[in-house]
Amino acid sequence: MTAVQPAQDNRLDWESASTGLPASAEVLAAANINPRTGLATDYLNHFNEAIMLLELIPDMPDCYELFLEWQPLSYAEHFVKSNFKGRELAIAAYDAAPSAVRKEFDAIVAKMTRILSTVGDAMRTVQQDATRARLAEQAARWVKPMIGAAGGIINGRDEQSDIDSIMAQ
Residue-level pLDDT at 110: 98
d(CA 160, CA 169): 15
Is 60 exceeded by the pLDDT of residue 146? yes
Is 50 exceeded by the pLDDT of residue 8? no
Distance (Å) of CA 115 to CA 33, 109, 111? 26, 10, 6
Q: Tell me if 112 sits within 8 A of 143, measured CB to CB.
A: yes
- When pLDDT is averaged across residues 20-34 and rounded to a whole number, the result is 84
- When pLDDT is averaged across residues 108-115 and rounded to a whole number, the result is 98
Amino acid at 43: Y
Is 90 exceeded by the pLDDT of residue 53? yes
Q: Please give the residue that has the higher pLDDT: either 47 or 17.
A: 47
For the beta carbon of residue 34, count every other beta carbon within 10 angstroms. Answer: 20
17's enclosing H/E stretch is: helix 14-19
d(CA 57, CA 52): 9
d(CA 143, CA 93): 25
Residue-level pLDDT at 100: 95
Q: Report helix angle 99-125 to 129-154, nearest 10.
A: 170
